Chain A
Amino acid sequence: MYEIRLHSRGGQGGVTAAKMLALAAIREGKFATACPFYGAERRGAPVVSYIRIDDAPIKVYSQIRQPDLVIVLDMSVMETVDVLQGIREDGRVLINSPHPVDMQGHPTYHVDLTGIALSLNLVIAGSPILNTPLMGALAKMGYVTFDSVKGAIEETFSDDRNVEAAQLAYEELER
């Protein structure tokens, strides 16, 4: 089972990202659970979502304590949240950043999701759409195939630029 924890801010699409990743996994015949943690969230506050992917039905409902992958959609949450808390020794990190970031020696991948969204003018209510390019990066990292990512995006959004954004992130992801 892969356990993934996604850090973002309210309004950045983290919950939808978790659902799309679950959908992509299910389209590959896997089982998945996407689980937003609900507290006193509001737009702009740090929020967390969880995704579990497995070959068997998932029976766990508690929060993820030892993630295999930590995703950071907004680096500014790292000023107040310990995003590496509990991460497995070999756990990987994926950060929305144009530059490499040192995450205490964990294999860390970066891609400029914000830049990709802005370059395609994928913006809603003033916020760049980060979750569809994120799907491309996750496909590159091998959690799901790009085909199922493309399918999940097309089932969720009608605008073709979302798939284009995923394609760009797939190509631009660097370690």
Chain B
Amino acid sequence: MLTIATGNKAVADAVKDAVPAIVAAYPITPQTEIVEQIANYVASGQLASKYIPVESEHSAMAACIGASATGARAFTATSSHGLVYMCEMLHWAVGARLPIVMANANRALGPGWNIWAEHTDSLSMRDTGWLQVYVGSVQEAYDATLMAFRIAEHNDVLLPVMVNLDGFALTHITQSLETVDPGDFIPPMHLPHAIDTGRPAGYGTLTAPGDYYRFRWDIERSMRNAVSVIEETQDEFGKRFGRTYGMTEEYRCADAEVVVVAMGTLGKEVEIAVDILRGQGVKAGSMRLRWFRPFPDLDLAGKEVVVIDRDYSFGFGGIVAHAIASKYDVPIFSVIAGLGGQEVTYDDIAGFVRDRRPGDEYWFGVDA
């Protein structure tokens, strides 16, 4: 059905269509509308989930972990300080191999207190073992959330998935939304190690050095499997519902001499900058990273790269720029822009590309 929705409502609608057994939630700006909308769906009988209001984000993730461990589909949503507060439990969900789905409204961390878009919150959870996807439109927020359940619960993966959408820039804007009837696109969840009172077993027990690394390697093996599961899921989604997605979204990349890499809504705005640059004779292309974990294979051979990081790792650099630098031997101009909702327009982006200085880092708006 074609309607209009905010990014937050799109996530809530995808959750309604995926019918988790439980939703545990604690509100935080700019995510609150997601869990409010889900609460409405549960209260009005449109969604047969158990809704568990909790006293903190740490508890929200703990409740999801408990439910998921019994084989129940679980969802929560958070943002920024809420995400980093549940950090301990994020690691737990991965180690316990629980396919929880969570939406994160990307928001800067304080102080200075700031409720606007930035990716440092989720990227600082990079090494937890959660799969991470970053979306660039209201429709994509819905589609990615729906697909997240199938990917997480696939028995070759069994890892949690975090769907990231830019705070306010996407959570609060209204665009068209086409919802679908997922039917058997999302099969019933089957967790092979679900708690079964008929077969008592120990969970989360002491794991000695002789065994622990095997569990770690198994997580990594599943993370590697996840690439083909994501691609298969996205292909199947395209066949059934007509919207296709890749690990990245590329625009005018094939013959590009300089490729701009970004994530989220900035990655969409880059496409307009590319059209402007092409009109000025600069052979530019856009490569919007959709999946950050697992990190996709990128075709950057022979190209110059401009990376726009809406995040920063202090004392090191832009997190996306350094991920690319560590995997590909290409000249990179690293731009730090959009922190805490800083306005960045397509004209600004075209300017970064025109004035690129491969090997350098540039903080937009800072005279340095």
Asked if B269 and A22 make an inter-chain contact with CB atoms under 8 angstroms apart, the answer reads no
Interface size class of B (residues with CB under 8 A): 20 to 34
Contacts of A35 in B (CB 8 A): 172-174
Asked if B4 and A26 make an inter-chain contact with CB atoms under 8 angstroms apart, the answer reads yes
Q: How far is the CA of A65 from the CA of B348 in the complex (A)?
A: 13
In the assembled complex, the CB of B287 is this many whole angstroms from the nearest CB of chain A, namely 15
Contacts of B116 in A (CB 8 A): 38
Give the residues from 154 to 178 in chain B that come closer than 8 angstroms, CB to CB, to chain A.
166, 168-170, 172-176
Contacts of A34 in B (CB 8 A): 4, 173-175
A143 within 8 A of B: no
B58 within 8 A of A: no
Asked if B174 and A62 make an inter-chain contact with CB atoms under 8 angstroms apart, the answer reads no
Mask, B1-26, CB within 8 Å of A = 1, is 01110000000000000000000000
Residue of A nearest to B176 (CB): A26
B271 within 8 A of A: yes
Asked if A26 and B2 make an inter-chain contact with CB atoms under 8 angstroms apart, the answer reads yes
Asked if A19 and B268 make an inter-chain contact with CB atoms under 8 angstroms apart, the answer reads no
A103 within 8 A of B: no
In the assembled complex, the CB of A66 is this many whole angstroms from the nearest CB of chain B, namely 11
Q: How far is the CA of A23 from the CA of B6 in the complex (A)?
A: 12
Asked if B269 and A32 make an inter-chain contact with CB atoms under 8 angstroms apart, the answer reads no
Contacts of A31 in B (CB 8 A): 175-176
Q: How far is the CA of A138 from the CA of B37 in the complex (A)?
A: 30
Interface size class of A (residues with CB under 8 A): 20 to 34
Asked if B269 and A33 make an inter-chain contact with CB atoms under 8 angstroms apart, the answer reads no
In the assembled complex, the CB of A91 is this many whole angstroms from the nearest CB of chain B, namely 18
Residue of B nearest to A27 (CB): B2
B30, B174, B268: the one contacting A61 at CB < 8 Å is B268
Which of B78-86, B252-260, B317-325, B339-347 is the contact stretch? B339-347
Contacts of B266 in A (CB 8 A): 61
Contacts of B2 in A (CB 8 A): 26
In the assembled complex, the CB of B177 is this many whole angstroms from the nearest CB of chain A, namely 9
Asked if A62 and B343 make an inter-chain contact with CB atoms under 8 angstroms apart, the answer reads yes
Mask, A38-67, CB within 8 Å of B = 1, is 100000000000000000011111110100
A36 within 8 A of B: yes
Q: With A22-B4, A26-B2, A38-B168 in contact, is A62–B345 under 8 Å at CB?
A: yes
Interface SS majority for chain A:
mixed
Contacts of A36 in B (CB 8 A): 172-173
Asked if B272 and A63 make an inter-chain contact with CB atoms under 8 angstroms apart, the answer reads no
Q: How far is the CA of A23 from the CA of B170 in the complex (A)?
A: 17
In the assembled complex, the CB of B6 is this many whole angstroms from the nearest CB of chain A, namely 9
Give the residues from 4 to 29 in chain A that come closer than 8 angstroms, CB to CB, to chain B.
18-19, 22-23, 26
Contacts of A38 in B (CB 8 A): 30, 115-116, 168, 172
Asked if B175 and A59 make an inter-chain contact with CB atoms under 8 angstroms apart, the answer reads no
In the assembled complex, the CB of A8 is this many whole angstroms from the nearest CB of chain B, namely 16
Q: How far is the CA of A157 from the CA of B139 in the complex (A)?
A: 24
Contacts of B268 in A (CB 8 A): 59-61
Q: With A26-B4, A62-B345 in contact, is A18–B174 under 8 Å at CB?
A: yes
Give the residues from 94 to 121 in chain B that come closer than 8 angstroms, CB to CB, to chain A.
115-116
Asked if A23 and B4 make an inter-chain contact with CB atoms under 8 angstroms apart, the answer reads yes
In the assembled complex, the CB of A64 is this many whole angstroms from the nearest CB of chain B, namely 10
In the assembled complex, the CB of B125 is this many whole angstroms from the nearest CB of chain A, namely 24
Asked if B175 and A61 make an inter-chain contact with CB atoms under 8 angstroms apart, the answer reads no
Give the residues from 49 to 83 in chain B that come closer than 8 angstroms, CB to CB, to chain A.
none
Contacts of B174 in A (CB 8 A): 18-19, 22, 32-35
Q: How far is the CA of A116 from the CA of B272 in the complex (A)?
A: 41
B265 within 8 A of A: yes
In the assembled complex, the CB of B342 is this many whole angstroms from the nearest CB of chain A, namely 10
Contacts of A33 in B (CB 8 A): 173-175
Asked if B172 and A60 make an inter-chain contact with CB atoms under 8 angstroms apart, the answer reads no
Asked if A61 and B169 make an inter-chain contact with CB atoms under 8 angstroms apart, the answer reads yes
Mask, B302-342, CB within 8 Å of A = 1, is 00000000000000000000000000000000000000000
Q: How far is the CA of A133 from the CA of B173 in the complex (A)?
A: 23
In the assembled complex, the CB of A35 is this many whole angstroms from the nearest CB of chain B, namely 4
Task: Given contacts A62-B346, A63-B343, list 19 more A-B pairs with CB under 8 A.
Answer: A23-B3, A26-B176, A31-B176, A32-B175, A32-B176, A33-B173, A34-B174, A34-B175, A35-B172, A35-B174, A36-B172, A58-B175, A59-B271, A60-B268, A61-B169, A61-B170, A61-B268, A62-B343, A62-B344
19 chain-A/chain-B pairs, Cβ below 8 angstroms: A19-B174, A22-B174, A22-B175, A26-B2, A26-B176, A31-B176, A32-B4, A33-B173, A33-B175, A34-B175, A59-B269, A60-B268, A60-B346, A61-B166, A61-B169, A61-B173, A61-B269, A62-B269, A63-B343
Q: Which positions in B face A, CB cutoff 8 Å? A: 2-4, 30, 115-116, 137, 166, 168-170, 172-176, 265-266, 268-269, 271-272, 343-346
